[in-house]
Structure 1
Amino acid sequence: MSVNGKVIPHTPLAVDFWQVRKCPGTRLFFLSHMHSDHTVGLTSTWSNRPIYCSPTTAALLRLKLQVKEKWIHPLELDEPYLLPMDDIGKEKLTVTLIEANHCPGSVMFLFEGYFGSILYTGDFRYTPSMLREPCLRTHTTIDVLYLDNTNCDPNRTLPSRQQATQQIKEIIRRHPNHNVVIGLYALGKESLLVELAMEFKTWVEVSFVRMQTLKALELPDVFTTEPGVGRIRVVEQSQICSANVHKWDKEQPTLAILPTSRPLVSFHPNVHVVPYSDHSSYQELEDFVSALKPTSLVPIVGKHVPASFSALLPRRKRHEILVPECVRHYMLSQPESQLSSSANTSPRRRHFQPLLPKGVLFDSPVRGAGKSGEEATEPDATEEEMDAEVSENDSDCILVDLSKYHTPKKNRGGTGDMCLNIVKTTRTPFETNAKIISGLYQMTYTVVHI
């Protein structure tokens, strides 16, 4: 599995990087969100080093990885926090968390200290409102921008999530007598599910494992584990295969929808791939970099960004970084020696008050029925992992990820025996500069308590 995290040079900081033996000088760890390619190496045995994240991510960290409470330090968004960078209280940094518009709990980190100003986006979907954040609006210089370059391809366009959601709604409206199966990974796109539930006045059936996550997120009450009570059902993306589609269709006419920015093509008339992305498009990244004008740019995924981005950077040199002696000593000391400082001098801890669950316009299902067949544990896989595993029965495959076969300068071993049949994709014209939908907690729903 790829590791989408970084150790910040000349500092004791790391973001989404948990391989401690590779960063012995790191003392402060930051988690941008809970997708598994950003938590590689982070387990329940984590100790001696504080983890800073958003309150929502903290809740998921406890639920999914069972990290001990003493190491988890949730920070509220949009508020600056002072953190110690040594064990004597002399040197501090300021960190501000900014909504990343990616998945529940995802944030960007703005670090300020002796090293200058560093903005680490983590995974994010850019929207112009981000530039109105007070911490960015008042800043004249970002010295280093760590950029989520997942979709940084000038030859590829993506619709806004609002446009992609409309495409999905139109597909469902065209098939009023069909059930709908949506293939998703373990975390993300919850706002899409809530919007579809409200639009079509139906419960969304999920597995017991997914329901645990949804309860932790305190989303509107549109989800159920009761089989057959709702028109929409969520499954793991890997379950969208020809055998299952044939099985579902025999029981009840069924559509399968894959909301993903991965370059998949469908080979079944009832399977629709919709380019719904939680990562910024190339044009959005260009707009973001052009507006911020950072002194330097570091890609989070891989080592390269398009040369056209270099033209967006101002011609100025970054000042030389002088690491204070107390910070050098801190980075060389044993982690145990910092327990009395960083663990006990936590930033202002604030009580997280999640949104209360809300009722919906349709009847509640009868509770206490048998468990759903989807109870099997869902892997914490994410869209950006691009897992290359092929089904044990290749003839059962109905999807192929074109990026594995058409990525330039990539050595591909094996015979590439993937099934290729008739292509059917769902892509409608869209404007690349359309208005971008807000994140999960910025959506507005009309609900009636029941």
Structure 2
Amino acid sequence: MPTPQNTLKDASASSRNSAKQKSADGDIFSTLMTSFKENEAWKEASTAEDRNFRPTKSNGGRRKTPFYKIMQGMPIAVDAFRYGAIPNVKAYFLTHAHSDHYTNLSAKWDNGLIYCSECTANLITHMLGVDPKWIRPLAMNSTTIIPDTGGVQVTLIEANHCPGSCLFLFEGKQTVDAGDSAYKSQYIGSPKVFRYLHCGDFRACPQHVMHPAVKGKHIDHVYLDTTYLDPKYCFPPQPLVISACAELSARLVRGVGAEVQPTNDGKPRTMTGWFTRMDKGDKGKEKQTDLSQRTLVVVGTYSIGKERIVKAIAKALETKIYCDSRKAAILRCESDPDLESMLTTDPMRAGVHLVPLAVIASDRLEQYMERWKGVYTKVIGFRPTGWTFSAPSGTDTLPAISTVLARAQSRTFTHVNLQPQRNSSATLQIYGVPYSEHSSFFELTCFALSLDWGRMIATVNVGSESSRGKMAKWIERWDAERKKRGKVEVVHYRAPEYW
């Protein structure tokens, strides 16, 4: 027969077990509800981004803002200018001056203050005519309290993308459900301080996770640039590609022998004799001829971006850079004294010309060279874009995390990896350069493993459920790998600028 004491013990144990079960059930329910709400929020976002949407009186005259454009619980929107005046938003942030991020921003803007880097402020004033009274430029690496946001503070971190691009680290309490989403936060009014890292567009590197504002902190939400979140996009590190372009340019223009690798059919593609530039001096020594009037290097660029490749090539050739007056005015907005010192308005003085990326095609380059007939006789064209890269045949599309890390970190990239396209000729060579100012899949993996984060939110390629599902699986794998490792540590890197 049970004693009263044993009965109390049993009742207590039963109560504890019941409480544990209720807690477990509550956690499961909370997880399910969070997952449900997130799925519904994505459906809501997909509807908002419908390409067939046309503003009318019946739909309020504006698109509804996807949830991932609003910092949860804060009156802050990032790269959300196409949505007009967003409910309860007090501060509009712009990560960088690329058109897909400032869509609908113009001289007519009057919906609220715009916060961005000083360089981006210069660019949108010049290119878009935005009235400076709406712009609040912020310094990099310093923390600022944003007015009218309930004390939220922001730190700008160099994004390693185009000039002026930055990550935003927001830190503050949740005070308001801003935006259009029907799904509200449960933490409004909570004393908890949240940290959100908005990556905009970025090329992830060790310096990001080791930045004093980020290192050692738990980041609740990471709004991630997922442009290349696919294992087939493990293109080489940015600094190595830049050096390779500069080295190849110097070798071709100065006539130094350039080794080449075999093509896919096993036949070597030789460059011998294509750009021979040496003759003999009086004493039998090799003497370089005047190349500035004979061989031209043409680099394709966007309105903003790719400047690092251009500068490296010009330095290697010890020459000036020429571009049209519109492009030159944009470059001067970037406040880069090094680049400005290289610019010239005289195309005949420049061994490097900048053109739109689309010009780097054999027919377009031939037309461009007609303008300099009798001045330049041969041309080297560089087309730098991440889409140039293609994974080797047989590449595993679902590699283990350990395989991703080992395979990518063992790779090198030099000038011999750059091959002229098949339609190149004795007077015109075009090189597709696997260069991007977005993170490769490998870099995204390193970034995710090196950071203490609670939730990652994709911001690119989110238009379809299938695409979101594929990316979500990788985010889950990153999370599992972090938990397996236990302590969050920076993935081994080859230099602070790249993994």
Q: Normalised by the size of structure 2, how large is the TM-score? A: 0.59
1:309 maps to 2:475: yes
1:223 maps to 2:301: no
1:42-121 matches, within 5 Å, as: 42-85=105-148, 91-115=150-174, 116-121=194-199
SS at 1:172 equivalent: helix
One of 232, 239, 261 as aligned partner of 1:155: 232
User: Partner residue of 1:258?
Assistant: 383
User: Partner residue of 1:349?
Assistant: none
Quick check: 1:260–1:276 contact (8 Å CA) kept in 2?
Answer: yes
Aligned length: 318
Following superposition, the deviation at residue 169 of structure 1 comes to 2.3
Q: What CA deviation, in whole Å up to 9, does each residue of 1:247-298 have, x standing for no partner?
A: 4567311111101111379552121101111111111111111111311110
Give distance in 1, aligned partners of 2:245 and 2:153. 42
- The share of aligned pairs that are identical, in percent, is 31
User: Partner residue of 1:245?
Assistant: 365
SS at 2:386 equivalent: coil
1:39 maps to 2:116: no
Alignment root-mean-square deviation, CA: 2.7
Following superposition, the deviation at residue 186 of structure 1 comes to 0.6
SS at 1:122 equivalent: coil
User: Partner residue of 1:398?
Assistant: none
Give distance in 2, aligned partners of 1:289 and 1:433. 14
Letter in 2 for 1:34: A
1:145 maps to 2:222: yes
CA pair 280-96 structure 1, distance change in 2 beyond 3 A: same
CA pair 197-173 structure 1, distance change in 2 beyond 3 A: closer
Quick check: 1:147–1:297 contact (8 Å CA) kept in 2?
Answer: yes
Letter in 2 for 1:253: K
Give distance in 1, aligned partners of 2:220 and 2:352. 46
Following superposition, the deviation at residue 167 of structure 1 comes to 2.4
Quick check: 1:295–1:314 contact (8 Å CA) kept in 2?
Answer: no
Following superposition, the deviation at residue 132 of structure 1 comes to 2.1
One of 325, 348, 353 as aligned partner of 1:208: 325
SS at 1:78 equivalent: coil
Quick check: 2:322–2:344 contact (8 Å CA) kept in 1?
Answer: yes
Letter in 2 for 1:261: G
Give distance in 1, aligned partners of 2:368 and 2:79. 39
CA pair 22-310 structure 1, distance change in 2 beyond 3 A: farther
Q: What CA deviation, in whole Å up to 9, does each residue of 1:199-222 have, x standing for no partner?
A: 111111111011112222232200
Give distance in 1, aligned partners of 2:84 and 2:136. 22
User: Partner residue of 1:275?
Assistant: 434
Give distance in 1, aligned partners of 2:481 and 2:75. 28
Give distance in 2, aligned partners of 1:434 and 1:135. 22
CA pair 29-244 structure 1, distance change in 2 beyond 3 A: same
Give distance in 2, aligned partners of 1:56 and 1:261. 24
Quick check: 1:31–1:51 contact (8 Å CA) kept in 2?
Answer: yes
1:254-403 matches, within 5 Å, as: 254-263=379-388, 266-269=421-424, 270-303=429-462, 304=468, 305-313=471-479
Following superposition, the deviation at residue 166 of structure 1 comes to 2.4
Following superposition, the deviation at residue 22 of structure 1 comes to 7.3
More helix by share: 2
1:4-23 matches, within 5 Å, as: 6-21=69-84, 23=86
SS at 1:295 equivalent: strand
SS at 1:92 equivalent: coil
Following superposition, the deviation at residue 138 of structure 1 comes to 4.2
1:409-428 matches, within 5 Å, as: none
CA pair 433-153 structure 1, distance change in 2 beyond 3 A: farther
Letter in 2 for 1:274: V
Following superposition, the deviation at residue 306 of structure 1 comes to 4.9
Give distance in 2, aligned partners of 1:66 and 1:155. 40
Which structure 2 residue ranges, 5 or more long, are not aligned? 1-48, 52-64, 175-193, 254-274, 276-294, 391-420, 463-467, 483-491
Quick check: 1:293–1:312 contact (8 Å CA) kept in 2?
Answer: no
SS at 1:23 equivalent: coil
Give distance in 1, aligned partners of 2:476 and 2:316. 44
Letter in 1 for 2:461: G
Which structure 1 residue ranges, 5 or more long, are not aligned? 317-431, 439-450
CA pair 194-31 structure 1, distance change in 2 beyond 3 A: same
Give distance in 1, aligned partners of 2:165 and 2:105. 17
Give distance in 1, aligned partners of 2:252 and 2:458. 42
CA pair 315-191 structure 1, distance change in 2 beyond 3 A: closer
Give distance in 2, aligned partners of 1:206 and 1:6. 35
Following superposition, the deviation at residue 79 of structure 1 comes to 1.4
Greater Cα radius of gyration, structure 1 or 2 = 2
Give distance in 1, aligned partners of 2:103 and 2:433. 29
Choose between structure 1 and 2 for higher RCO, CA contacts under 8 A separated by at least 6 residues.
1
User: Partner residue of 1:360?
Assistant: none
Q: What CA deviation, in whole Å up to 9, does each residue of 1:69-97 have, x standing for no partner?
A: 111001111111112335xxxx2211111
Give distance in 1, aligned partners of 2:316 and 2:245. 11
CA pair 142-239 structure 1, distance change in 2 beyond 3 A: same
Give distance in 2, aligned partners of 1:263 and 1:190. 18
